[in-house]
Amino acid sequence: MNVVVAEDNVALAAFLHRALEKEGHQVHCVPDGAQARDYVLEHQPDLLILDLGLPVLSGVDVLRAIDGRAANTSAIVLSGLTDLAVKLECLNLGADDYLTKPFSTQELNARCRAIRRRRVDTPSAVLRHGELLLNRMTREVTLSEHQLEFTTKEFALLEYLLLKRGRPVSRQELLKQVWRVMPDAGTNVVDVYINYLRRKLAVFEKSDLIETLRGEGYGIGVRPGADALQTPALHLPLFSRVGVV
Ligand code: CA
């Protein structure tokens, strides 16, 4: 995992750096809370190991600053404080685990492995296809950093197609999984909603992002070469694009 360690105690930071690198992680250390916040928001590492008693911004303030803005970053809090209220506050602010100092390397490594396992088992909070990002926690969708607005059902449909990225999804499967109804060949609701999505993507000239796969249904990233999104496509500011449509 990519790990950032926020620890102002130089000796402890060096110790953590060595221990985590030995376990195969890529490690970056920062000495204060403001740098921890900036690093997490900019790089969205897999894991933040966060001391609570930090200069500039406290560990709790860091958690508060990144809450909901770094859905892909797990956090382990390190602290000498064993106060239950502090521990609960950290967990409520999105920390995944809490380690009380002093701790052993084995314990730290075990907690890191548990977090890695959880990350592998759970689909990522942020689904991505090229420049299209869908955040399942904040329910935001952006395309080349422009925010898109979707209704609940449109969002659920796009989310499902992204979860199944790279394979065709039949209308029957979409009816069952997104609409929670028994597949019924008599309804065209799936096609209607695919059109709604495409119309919104058309503002960015990306209506072909959702592929129609004859006889199989719909999909994202199924056809080789269909993914034109890997290259940044939006050079014009948003208003001029909207003006064209
Ligand atoms: Ca400290």
What is the predicted pLDDT for the residue at 167?
86
Q: Which residues neighbour ligand 1 (ion) by CB within 5 Å?
A: 8, 51, 53
Domain stops at, among 120, 154, 174: 120
Nearest by Cα to 133 from 152, 146, 122:
146
4 CA distance to ligand 1 centroid (A)?
Answer: 15
Q: What is the pLDDT of residues 39-63, one digit of tens each?
A: 998 888 889 999 999 999 999 999 9
Q: Residue 211 Cα, ligand 1 centroid: separation in angstroms?
A: 52
CATH number at residue 169: 1.10.10.10
Q: 137 and 27 in one domain? A: no
The whole-angstrom separation of Cα 82 and Cα 14 is 24
6, 100: one domain: yes
Residue 103 CA to ligand 1 centre (angstroms): 14
**Cα 95 from Cα 87, distance rounded (Å):** 9
C-beta neighbour count of 137 within 10 angstroms: 11
Measured in Å, residue 82 CA sits from the centre of ligand 1 at: 14
Query: The domain that contains 21 carries what CATH number?
Result: 3.40.50.2300
**8 C-alpha vs ligand 1 centroid, how far in Å?**
5
Cis peptide before 102 (omega within 30 of 0): yes
d(CA 233, CA 204): 9
The rounded Å distance from CA 93 to ligand 1 centre is 19
For 116-126, what is each residue's pLDDT tens digit? 887 766 667 78
Distance 12 CA to ligand 1 centre (A): 9
Place of tokens 């999804």: 169
Assess if residue 42 is contained within a domain. Answer: yes
Chain segment 201-220, per-residue pLDDT in tens:
999 888 889 999 999 999 99
pLDDT value, residue 5: 97
Mean pLDDT of 14-34: 95
Domain count, the chain: 2
pLDDT at 106: 92
Do 8 and 83 share a structural domain?
A: yes
Ligand 1: centre distance to CA 99 (Å): 13
Q: Look up residue 186 and give its two tokens.
A: 């008599």
Residue 92 sits in the same domain as residue 200: no
Task: Quote the ligand 1 centre to 9 CA distance (angstroms).
Answer: 6
Domain that holds residue 82: 2-120
pLDDT of 231 higher than 80: no
Task: Let me know: does 155 contact 163? Beta carbons within 8 Å.
Answer: no
